[in-house]
Amino acid sequence: MTEWEQAILIVIASLRTGEVVSYGDIARRAGNPRAARSVGRLLASTEHSLPWWRVIRADGTLLRSHRKTQTELLTAEGVVVKAGRVRKAPLGRFS
């Protein structure tokens, strides 16, 4: 795994309960603000026990392929999700 990939995983692992951020936010925190797509690729291709459900698109929409699970996990953390989009989160970009 590259240093960049490790940096991404460290940032994701540090997300707190109820914190919802975008792929771009993760890229910025990891040190490369123009690499949002690589964050998504890494999450999609890596087996991990990270809180992946706390990372969403910049417009607040959830992953279509995991929408039901992601909605359940976020709702359990106090995040308001309506029609596949985060409306309000206790922490993070959508707070």
What CATH number is given for 3-92 in this structure?
1.10.10.10
pTM: 0.93
pLDDT at 88: 97
CB 62 within 8 A of CB 70: yes
Q: Where are the domains of the chain?
A: 3-92
Average pLDDT, the chain: 95
The span from the CA of 46 to the CA of 71, in Å, is 21
Single-letter residue type at 69: T
The span from the CA of 65 to the CA of 94, in Å, is 21
Q: Which residue has the higher pLDDT, 95 or 35?
A: 35
36: pLDDT strictly greater than 90: yes
